[in-house]
Amino acid sequence: MKIIDLSKPVQFNRNDPWFMRVKIKHKPHGKAKWLIRLLGLPFRLFPQGFEGWADDTIEKMGVHATTHIDAPWHYSPTCNGEPAKTIDQVPLEWCYNDGIVIDMKHKADFDAITVEDIENFLTRENLALRAGMIVLIKTGRDKFNGTKDFPYIGTGMSAEATAWLIDKGIKVMGIDSWGWDLPLTYQIRKAKENNDRSTFWKAHLVGQQKEYCHMEQLVNLDALPYSGFKVAVFPLKIVGASAAPARVVAMLD
């Protein structure tokens, strides 16, 4: 079995937007020896060659800061009139299944992915969706991941295409762009230009009526075939959270 990592590294990157920067403090082995001594073990009884253990502290990391999966709670406090699931309430059965790649690399920046785009791709490649599959939208924008441009460029999903996938029985879907919708700053600009509140966050807000989760900031989708693999996307069990980092991987026989 071959395992392909679809997750970006968790590390500080000065090019990330300020509200998404990660800060990790790495503690070397030598620091721990003083803690052990304080707990009562004399240095003379330390095992031969033992310098103490290494340790690390995540001092700052938002749950949306790296490759992550959004819970229904992220989109709205309710879904179809019921309390929306937080990330710890998302069924693990949703998080492991057959995967399929929808190749949308041809889509231009700021041109939303439509139902017709997806249907045309599936027909051309003789592929079919099945309920429970994990759908990965490949835009090719992961090549900009880690650069200053990443949050401000790319395509994204339309509300109609998002709802269409959910209606096909898809509970988990993901994209290799910064976000699931078109770039955030583009949405804000268009909403102001059109004086139209309905133009902002359309795809996310499908979750007000239809229950689903999506992943953002995937990488390495070019390493996958369009089908014939499994996807695992198990989030950290953060109680009450809107999302969680996940080590997303694909498994090929």
For residue 41, is pLDDT > 90? no
Say if 9 falls within a structural domain.
no
* Cα Rg, the chain, nearest whole Å: 21
User: What are the C-alpha distances in Å from 176 to residues 67, 117, 182, 203, 213?
Assistant: 9, 17, 12, 15, 15
Q: Which two tokens stand for residue 158?
A: 């339309």
- pLDDT band of residue 33 (cuts 50, 70, 90) is confident
Instruction: Kindly state whether residues 56 and 102 are assigned to the same domain.
Output: no
For residue 81, is pLDDT > 90? yes
Say if 178 falls within a structural domain.
yes
Domain count, the chain: 2
Segment holding 35, helix H or strand E: helix 29-38
Say if 35 falls within a structural domain.
yes
Q: What is the pTM of this model?
A: 0.95
Sort strands 82-83 and 96-103 into parallel, antiparallel or unpaired: unpaired
Given 42, 60, 78, the domain boundary residue is 60
CATH of the domain at 168: 3.50.30.50
- pLDDT band of residue 34 (cuts 50, 70, 90) is confident
Which tens digit of pLDDT belongs to each residue from 171-200? 999 999 999 999 999 999 999 999 999 889
Given 60, 77, 105, the domain boundary residue is 60
Which tens digit of pLDDT belongs to each residue from 196-251? 998 899 999 999 999 999 999 999 999 999 999 999 999 999 999 999 999 999 99
Which among 71, 121, 86 is positioned nearest to 100, based on CA atoms?
A: 121
Instruction: Kindly state whether residues 34 and 106 are assigned to the same domain.
Output: no
Region 96-111: what's the mean pLDDT?
98
Instruction: Kindly state whether residues 55 and 72 are assigned to the same domain.
Output: no
Region 148-164: what's the mean pLDDT?
97
Q: What is the DSSP string of 140-206?
A: SGGGGTTSTTGGG----B-HHHHHHHHHTT--EEEESSSSSSS-HHHHHHHHHHHT-GGGSSTTGGG
Residue 233 structural domain: 68-252
pLDDT score at 30? 85
Say if 131 falls within a structural domain.
yes
pLDDT score at 151? 96
pLDDT score at 214? 98
* 3-class DSSP assignment, residue 116: helix
- How far is C-alpha 132 from the geometric centre of its chain's CA atoms? 18
pLDDT score at 119? 98
